[in-house]
Amino acid sequence: MKAHTAESQSTMTPQKALDFLKEGNLRFQNNLKANRNLLEQVNDTSEGQFPFATILSCIDSRVSAELVFDQGLGDIFSIRIAGNFINEDILGSMEFACKVAGTKLLVVLGHTSCGAIKGACDHVRLGNLTALINKIEPAVAAVVQRKNEPSLTSENLDFVNEVAIENVQIAIENIKSRSVVLKQMEQNGEIQIIGAMYDINDGNVTFME
């Protein structure tokens, strides 16, 4: 499989990009990697890159976007931060990836049993981690209010995973409310902005369509 080129990127649509990720995740789940020569892709991308998707995911070592979607060099922009939340720098990176570099799909990828989400559920306070946890706690508050069970903690994995989904949805809302560039691109049909959840138990990615 060759690296993406300016020509292949120009024919890409948001739906086609989404299909590419779905197909890649199916290959990953079935341990069927696409036939690609990574050293050849190093050479192919040495003078430019033409990714088709941008993925914001957690730093969790089990959730590498390139691996779980079976993508090679030059295929996706990968943004990673614990808890996959939105801030100004991440929005700027997304705007570059979509408006300047031409990606057609923007994915916020959460995952089950997320350590950052667990920390937010337990309101952990530790050095600079405290400020990070604060950015995830609105998702915790939303789920607690919805369930009306204020005593829930990270011991309840169903609660943790529900908060992870809420956190992805909040991130999507923040992208659209805080980035005029990305919101307009989606309204014009140039990109699609979508959430997804990765299951650490079986490798399956569920898109929130």
What does each of the 209 residues of the chain score in pLDDT, given as a tens digit?
788 888 888 899 999 999 999 999 999 999 999 888 888 888 888 888 999 999 999 999 999 999 999 999 999 999 999 999 999 999 999 999 999 999 999 999 999 999 999 999 999 999 999 999 999 999 999 999 999 888 899 999 999 999 999 999 999 999 999 999 999 999 999 999 999 999 999 999 999 98
CATH fold for domain 6-113+175-207? Beta-carbonic Anhydrase; Chain A (3.40.1050)
Measured CA to CA, the distance from residue 149 to residue 46 in angstroms comes to 54
**CB contact at 8 A, 14 and 191:** yes
Spatial neighbors of 90 by CB under 8 A, at least 6 apart, are 56, 79, 81
**CB contact at 8 A, 110 and 168:** yes
Domain boundaries, the chain: 6-113+175-207
